[in-house]
Structure 1
Amino acid sequence: MENFLRGCKAALQNKDGYEFHVVLGNEACDLDSVVSAITLAYFLSKTSSSKNLVYVPVLNIPREDFPLRTECGFFLRENGISEELLTFRDEVDLAELYESGQLSLSLVDHNVLPRSDSFMEDVVTEVIDHHVLERKPSANCRVTLELVGSCNTLVAEKIVQEAPQILDLQLAALLRGECQKDTFRGGGSSEFLRREGLENDLQVFCRKYGYNVLVAMVITFTAENEPIRQIAVYSQQGELRKLVSRALEQATSPSLDLSLTSCGPCSHVTAYSQGNASASRKKVLPILKDFLRKNDSSSRPMQAFQEAEDSKGHSGFNEQTLDNHLEATEFPGDDGDQSDPQDDPKGRGYRSHYRKQMEDGIEDENSFPPTPMNSLVEGCPLDRGLPKLTAEAILERISRITMGDTEGNSITGGQ
C-alpha cells in the first residue's frame, strides 16, 4: 500500500505520458469516504493492465484541514498509512488534467458532483455509494448503489468478488476496521472537546477563514442503535458566543431541546446535548440565518463583534458570511468582481457560467447545495438507528455473493 501511494504522488509530479483515474471521496472527508477512496484506487491499480493509467485516491479537502479529521488520521496511522502518503484536493489540479484530456473519475461515498466540479461530469465513469441516488442515468457511468451503513462495505464486497487475491493483512484491516467504526458509536462531542490542543486549533481555523464563531454538530449511536445528537458553539468573543447559544436555545422552528453539557478544558465553548435528534444540519442552519437577519437589522450590528485580529478584512459576521462559508463554497477564489477570462487558471469560464445561473434565479436563497447524505444530514437510512443484523440477513448476503460467483463462472466456461 505504501509503494502504491508513493507511486501516485510521484506520477502527479511528472504528468507527461500518463493518464489519471482519480477516485474522489466526498467533501465531508469522513472516515468512510477516505478509506473507500484509498481501497478502491488500490484495487483498480492492482487489476489494471494499463501501464500508463495511474489510479489516484484524492481526499476532497485541503491538506491543512486534515488535522481536524482526527479519527481519520488516527485510524490510518493505526494501519500503517502516514499523512505524507496521502493526496489532497489542493495538491492535484483536476481542471488542468481534465482540459488536457488526461482525467477520468470514480466517485465514492457520493454520487453527484457539486456545482463547482460539474464541468468534469462527462469523465465520471464509475460511482460507488450508499446514499439516495441523485445523479441522472448515463451509459458511460457504472453505478453501484445500495442503502447500506457504509460505502466501504460496497467496496469491500467488490474486492472480495473480483480480486480476493489482492487482500493482504493491511488491506483487510482497513476494510474491516472502517466498517466497524462506521457504526458512529463513540464519545461524541465530549470526546472531541477533550482533544489536546483543540482550543488552539479552533482559533487558528477561525483566523484563517475570518470566522467569529463556529457551530459544530455531532451524531453518535447508543448500544440500542438510537441516534444521539450534540451541538457546540465556539467563539473567542464571549458576548457573541452567548448570543448564538441563546438563539439555538430559544429556537422553536424546530425546537432543539438543548441541555448544557461539560466543555472539558475548553473555556471558549458552550456545549449541549440535543434532545431533538431529528434536527439535522439543514434544520439548524435556517435558525442561524434567521438570527443573523435579526441582528443585521437591529440597532446593534454584528460588526461590533469584529476583532482587530481579523487580518483578512472581513466586514463582519453576517448572513452572507454564513451563506458563503457554512452553506457552501461554490466559487473558491471568486470575489464577485469581473475579471479577464485569461486570468482564470481553470479555463472554460465555468465559474462565470454557474454564477450566471445563480443570477438568473435558477436557485433561490433558501436552496442548499447537494451534500453527501450521511448520518449528519436528514434522510439517511441510519436516522432511525443502525439496521438490525440477523443471521438470516448475513446468510442471504453470502448466498447472493455465491450465486454471483457461480453465474460468472458459468458464463466464463461457456465462452
Structure 2
Amino acid sequence: MFPIVKFMNAVKKTLSARWPALHVVLGNESCDLDSAVSAIVYAFLLHSLQNGEEAVGVVPVLNIPASEYPLKTEVTHWLQKHGILQNSLIFRDEVNLSRLQEGGSLRVTLVDHHVLPPADAYLESSVVGVLDHRPLDPNAPTNERVTMIVEPVGSCCTLVAEQVMAKNPALLDPVTASLLYGTIILDTVNLNPAAKRVTPKDIEVASQLARLMSPPPSSLEVFQELTEAKADVSGLTCDQLLRKDVKVATGGGLCVGVASVPLRVTDFLGRSEGGRYLAEHLATQGYQMLLVLGITITQETVTRDLAVYCPDTHLREQVTSALMEGQGGVLQLAPQECDGVESCVAFRQGNVGASRKVVMPILKAWLATRTS
C-alpha cells in the first residue's frame, strides 16, 4: 500500500484520537479536483513533518457535505483510481470545527483559497497557513502568525508539489506524483498557453512530476481522461449540476451563487424547463441571483459562455453591466439567445482564459458598491 493511501486510511482515527492540537487542511467550498488533491497531499506533507512530543494530528477536510461528493465526478474518479476511497475521506459535515476551536486545539491551513466565507469567519483566529494560486484578495489574512504562500499559477497543486519537493521529496512516489500531475494537467488545459492559465512554474513542476512516474504519462491522455470524467453529467439533474462546482458571493444584502457547469450554458438552459429549475434552485439555496458559467473543451479548444438569472430586473441589469464593463471589459461578452428562459440573460465569452477566478472579483466589486 502506498504511503499516501495508508495515511488517508488512518485520518478518521487521527480525527478521533487525543492530540495536543489538531491541524485541519481545509479545501475550498467548491471541492473541485485542485482543492481536494491540494488538501490531501498538503496534509500528507504536514503529517510527515511531525516529530516527537510536539507532534499534532493532521487531517485533510473536503469542504462539502458527504452527500455532495458523488457530484464531483472528476474528483471521485481520480481519487478512486489512486486508491483513495470515499470512506477514507473526511467531509465538512463530519467534523465539528466550532467545537474544536472552542477547545483551543484547532489549527487551520487553507488551500486553494485564502479568504474565509462569511459562514466560516469564526475560524479566522485558528488559521495558521494559506496556500493558494488566486490573485491576492484585499481581505486576505494579515496576521504575522499566518504563513502565506499565494502565487498566481495555473494550479494550486503546483504550489503543493513545490512545497513537497522542498520539504520532503521522498513523499513523491508514483501515486502521489500522479495525483498532483493529473490535477495540474486538468487545471492548465494540458499546459496549453491558449487557455491562458499555465505559467512556467506549472510546466516545470509537471515535468518534474512526470519524471517520477513509470512509464512517463501522456499528458494528453491524462487530460482527456479527466475532462471526460468531469463532463460525465449524464446522471445529474439541473439542481445537482448547479451544486457540482459552486462558489457563493455575498454583499449589499445579496447572496449570489456562481456555478460552473461542464457544458454550454445554452445547452444547460435547455434542460431547465424554461427556468423552472433555476427558480427552484434560487429558493432552496437562498440566493437572490445565480451566475452560470459554462465551459466545454474539445481537442484542447476551450469555449465559454455565461448566464445571469435574477427575477429582479433592476439587479439583473446592474450586474450584467458590471460583468460587461468590469476590468476594462476583460470577459469580452457578447449577447446570445437565452432559450426562452425568463429573468435570464446569456452571453458568449470571448476571453476563454477568464475563468471564475476573473468573474468573482468583478462580482464582488459590484457587491461592494451596493454595500458602500
Question: TM-score, normalized by length of structure 1?
Answer: 0.55
Partner residue in 1 for 2:36: 34
Partner residue in 2 for 1:348: none
Q: Which runs of 5+ in 1 are unaligned?
A: 235-239, 288-326, 328-362, 368-415
Partner residue in 2 for 1:96: 99
Q: If you compute each CA radius of gyration, which structure gives the higher value, 1 or 2? A: 1
1:148 to 2:153 alignment: yes
Partner residue in 2 for 1:216: 292
Partner residue in 2 for 1:259: 336
Displacement after TM superposition at 1:47 (Å): 2.2
The answer to whether the 8 A contact 2:322-2:363 is kept is: no
Q: Output the amino acid matched with 1:8.
A: V
Q: Quote the Cα distance in structure 1 between the aligned partners of 2:371 and 2:152.
A: 28
Displacement after TM superposition at 1:82 (Å): 1.7
The answer to whether the 8 A contact 1:127-1:142 is kept is: yes
Identical aligned residues as a percent: 34
Partner residue in 2 for 1:230: 305
Q: Output the amino acid matched with 2:35.
A: S
Cα–Cα, structure 1 residues 223 and 117, in superposed 2: closer, same or farther, change >3 Å? same
Q: Quote the Cα distance in structure 2 between the aligned partners of 1:96 and 1:194.
A: 37
Aligned counterparts, 1:354-393, within 5 A: 365-366=370-371
The answer to whether the 8 A contact 1:183-1:221 is kept is: no
The answer to whether the 8 A contact 1:219-1:229 is kept is: yes
Partner residue in 2 for 1:296: none
Cα–Cα, structure 1 residues 158 and 252, in superposed 2: closer, same or farther, change >3 Å? closer
SS in 2 for 1:257: strand
Q: Quote the Cα distance in structure 1 between the aligned partners of 2:117 and 2:289.
A: 26
The answer to whether the 8 A contact 1:184-1:219 is kept is: no
Q: Output the amino acid matched with 1:34.
A: A
**Which of 156, 163, 166 is equivalent to 1:161?**
166
Displacement after TM superposition at 1:46 (Å): 1.7
The answer to whether the 8 A contact 2:73-2:232 is kept is: no
Displacement after TM superposition at 1:196 (Å): 2.3
The answer to whether the 8 A contact 1:259-1:272 is kept is: yes
1:108 to 2:108 alignment: no
SS in 2 for 1:143: strand
SS in 2 for 1:16: coil
More strand by share: 2
1:9 to 2:83 alignment: no
SS in 2 for 1:28: coil
Cα–Cα, structure 1 residues 106 and 193, in superposed 2: closer, same or farther, change >3 Å? closer
Displacement after TM superposition at 1:41 (Å): 0.3
Q: Quote the Cα distance in structure 1 between the aligned partners of 2:28 and 2:284.
A: 23
Cα–Cα, structure 1 residues 260 and 71, in superposed 2: closer, same or farther, change >3 Å? farther
The answer to whether the 8 A contact 2:25-2:109 is kept is: yes
Partner residue in 1 for 2:244: none
Aligned counterparts, 1:171-320, within 5 A: 171-184=176-189, 192=231, 195-199=234-238, 201=240, 206=281, 209=285, 215-219=291-295, 228-231=303-306, 256-260=333-337, 274-277=348-351, 280=359
Cα–Cα, structure 1 residues 258 and 84, in superposed 2: closer, same or farther, change >3 Å? farther
**Which of 69, 76, 80 is equivalent to 2:79?**
76
Displacement after TM superposition at 1:148 (Å): 1.2
SS in 1 for 2:18: coil
Q: Deviations over 1:102-140 (max 9, x none)?
A: 111111112232333333323322221222234243332
Partner residue in 2 for 1:339: none
Cα–Cα, structure 1 residues 251 and 2, in superposed 2: closer, same or farther, change >3 Å? closer
Q: Quote the Cα distance in structure 2 between the aligned partners of 1:61 and 1:366.
A: 28
Q: Deviations over 1:49-73 (max 9, x none)?
A: 1475111101112222223322222
RMSD over aligned CA atoms reads 4.2
Displacement after TM superposition at 1:365 (Å): 4.0
Q: Deviations over 1:262-313 (max 9, x none)?
A: 9xxxx9xx996623546835657999xxxxxxxxxxxxxxxxxxxxxxxxxx
Q: Output the amino acid matched with 2:72.
A: R
The answer to whether the 8 A contact 1:20-1:55 is kept is: yes
SS in 1 for 2:109: strand
Q: Deviations over 1:215-261 (max 9, x none)?
A: 52134678788x64223689xxxxx99x99xx68x955555424359
Q: Quote the Cα distance in structure 2 between the aligned partners of 1:171 and 1:35.
A: 9
The answer to whether the 8 A contact 1:230-1:271 is kept is: no
Q: Quote the Cα distance in structure 1 between the aligned partners of 2:160 and 2:152.
A: 13
Displacement after TM superposition at 1:100 (Å): 0.7
Aligned residues: 276
Displacement after TM superposition at 1:161 (Å): 1.8
Q: Which runs of 5+ in 2 are unaligned?
A: 191-223, 242-276, 325-332
Q: Quote the Cα distance in structure 2 between the aligned partners of 1:222 and 1:261.
A: 23
Q: Quote the Cα distance in structure 2 between the aligned partners of 1:96 and 1:73.
A: 29
Displacement after TM superposition at 1:213 (Å): 9.0
Question: TM-score, normalized by length of structure 2?
Answer: 0.60
